[in-house]
Structures are given as C-alpha cells and as structure tokens.
Amino acid sequence: MERLIVKNFGPLKYVDIELRDVNVFIGPTGSGKSTLAKLVAVMNSWEFKLSSDVELFSDLLKNFGVYTFLEKETTIEYHSSFDYLWKFSNGKIESNYPYGQLNLNMLRTLGHRSKRIFHRGSLFKRAIEHLATVNYARIKDKRVRSLLEGIQKKLIEIDSYTSNKKILDENDVKVEFLQESLLESSHLLYDKIFKNSSTYIPAERILFSTILSSLVTDTIPLMEYIKRFTKDLEYASLYNEETGEEGKFDIPELGLTFVRNEEVEEQWNLKISKGILPLNQSASGIQSILPMALMVSEFTQDIDHYLIIEEPELNLFPAQQMRAISYLLSKFNNGNNNKAIFTTHSPYILSSIDNLITANSVATEKPKLKKKVAEVIDEKYWLSYDRVSAYYFNPTPKRGKTNTESIMNAERKGIAGNAIDSVSDELNIQYEKLNELRYS
C-alpha cells in the first residue's frame, strides 16, 4: 500500500492518505484535489525517480503549474510499493530508491545491435564496473534484481569471450547469441523501470478535437503537462491495439464507435447512423471521453503504470457517467497492477464505484448468488473493496485537522452513503424550506 503525506503545499495544509489501486478524490473547486493528483504524477514519473534531484523536482512542479506552492515549511513524503521512500523537506530530497544512480541509458546502449559494444572500449568497461557497484540487497523487486544480475553475468561472459579473440568476427554465432541475449535483457530492464511511470489526463483533453498532433502544440502557449499529454495521446491514438487495422475504436458501454480520419491519421470521426461526423462537431462529452478512453486502453497494457484522470464525468449526463466509469475501471482489472486516481465533483461517480464494490462484496459473501449479481452488473466491472480508496477534500479544515477525510465505510464495505448523498440532502433541505414558505 502506498502513502502520501503533504504539509504546507498550496491549498494542502496537511494531508495523510493511503493510495490503493483505484483512488477517488472528491470535493469543492479549489480544495486541492488536482494539486495532490499532480504531486502523485510527479513522484511517479521516471525522471524524478531516477534522479531525485531538487532542481529537477522543481522543474517538474513547474511543468504542472504547482511550483509556486512550495514554501520553506513544505514537507512531502511519499511511500511507494516495495517500501521505497522519497521525502522533500528543508529544500532537500531523501530517498532509499535503489535505481537512482543506475545509468539505464548506458545499459540500454549495450543492448543495441552494434558490434562496437563487443570491443573492450570505455563504455563496455564502465558498464561492468557500474553494475559491480549496485547494491542488489536494496532492490526489493525480484524481477528487476534478477534482470540486473543476469545482465552483469552476460557482460562478464562477453568480456571474457572477446578478450581471448585477436580478431572479432561479427558473424560469430556465440557473439550473436550473447548480443541477442543482452539486447533482450537490457530492454526488459529499461522498460520495467521506465514504464513504471505516470500519465496525467487533464480536463483540457477536450482540446484534442482541435489540436490534431503534438507538433501543433509547440506553437501554442500551453502548460508543459498538457503538451506532454498531447504527445502521449498521439502515441495512444496511433498505436492503440484495440483499433486494429480497420482504424476503429469502440466504447460499447456508451454505444460509441470512432473511426480514423483517412487524411489525418491522428484525427477521429464519430460513426453515426447517417455516416460519420468529425469529432470536433460532436457533443462536448463525446469529445472529452475519446482521448480519455484511448489513453486508458493503451497505457493499462503496461505494468505498474499510474493514470491520473481529471473529471472523468466531464460534460456527461449522469447515466453516461456511470457507464463511462465502468468502462474505465474494467481496464484496471487485467492483472497488470496499474493504478488510477480520479479527481471528480460528481456524486454519480462515487455512486457508480460504490455499486461496483457492492457487486463484488455480495458475490463474495454469497457465492450462490454470483450469477444473479452478474446479471445486474457484469463481473468484468466488479471492484474489491480493498482495492479502493476515496477521500473528501475540505478546503477549510479545522485547526489541527487534515484537508482530507476518508469516505470509505469498512462496516458495509463501500463508500459512505452520507458522502454520496450530501448534495441531495442540501437540495432536499432547500426544497422543504421553500414548501414550508409556500404553504405557511
């Protein structure tokens, strides 16, 4: 389980939360939901993890527009999986992350198809010396530790083999085998660590219908995180496996089908009964959901990836909000250990997630009813209570209290009903008072 503690950072005076697979932040505008979500994105970016440098940390905060929130008293403490820790305090960063000094670019270079790496050059020697300094005992991820140890053995074997040959034949069968083996291992390691990253999907995603490619954004004064989003989106749009050769992308829960524009590959059209409709001429909710769906569909194919999504309900009717969140959450049930943060203003999002948790709880508690539960909500959408956290953000907490309050209900294994119904309660009170006045 992950934990994030923040003190004196913009609207966040004091936050101490646990992060699970699916996390929901709800609260008024300006309460700090997006600020905290952006911090999670920064702390999970491979740039920050591999450097843990204060200057780089500042740059990443600037990219997300939250750098000005830093104060002398700011403390940020992030405990990730495998008990890795990053702590920012007094202008310094402390970390026990074991890959911080690991030169992955050098290791990846070793995996390239070039006979030069088999000469006893400085790069090759430095790689062997570098791996000899790695403290393998600190690496708690067994898969990564095994890959690193394997690469070290391959490098030593290559060095030993080539050192005894006066003339190096690039067609040497053993050299070719060792090269292929090193290529595979180094790329696996690179992807394992670098893809343990984060993707931020902002509310500004609706711009996708008018910004056709990341190249265009270079001439538009957008925040860096939005520019990065457009580049990630372009990749997801071009290479998403679900689109297939036909260039078609379906969201069956919403009854939507999109097809690629034949002239501009990054652009999409909405399929309608009378033909096709350019995306930028469709309803705003449809323009908002396509980029979100494309990116979630693509990046949940990775392993250990964080997706932070602002306002999944954006411009959607309540019933569509329910179907949209069900679609998105089904992508996190593929066993790839990906995580999600949803920032929202919508009680319908809370209600929808609560129903998915309840479906799983009923089926678990009463296995004989599993088929009947599945008739109400398809099993592919179910969520285990233990995988979910939900927090209400209070912009004006009482002295000594945190900005956040967990709204999970352990007794009934769901989201607290009062959190879901608070807006309805307020509306009912207003309605009752108006009726009292009407009939007084």
Q: Among residues of the chain, what percentage have pLDDT more than 90? A: 47
Structure confidence at residue 118 as a pLDDT band (50, 70, 90): very low
What pLDDT is stored for residue 116 in this prediction?
45
Phi, psi of 215 (to 5 degrees): -65, -35
| Residue-by-residue DSSP string for 99-158 | TTT--HHHHHHHTSS-GGGGS--HHHHHHHHHHHT--GGG---HHHHHHHHHHHHHHHHH
Q: Which residue has the tokens 């909000």?
A: 321
Quote the CA–CA distance of 89 and 112 in Å, as a whole number: 40
For 58-105, strand residue ranges (E) read 75-79, 85-89, 92-95
pLDDT for the residue 221: 62
Enter the pTM of the model. Answer: 0.81
Domain edges within the chain: 6-38+306-440, 104-194, 207-304
How many CA within 13 A on the CB side of residue 46? 15
| Cα three-residue angle 378-379-384, rounded to 5 degrees | 130
Radius of gyration of the chain, Cα coordinates, nearest whole angstrom? 25
Q: Are 354 and 414 in contact (CB under 8 A)?
A: yes
Does the pLDDT value for residue 370 go beyond 50?
Answer: yes
pLDDT value at residue 97: 80
Quick: pLDDT tens for 130-189: 666 666 666 766 777 787 777 777 777 777 776 665 555 555 666 667 667 766 776 666
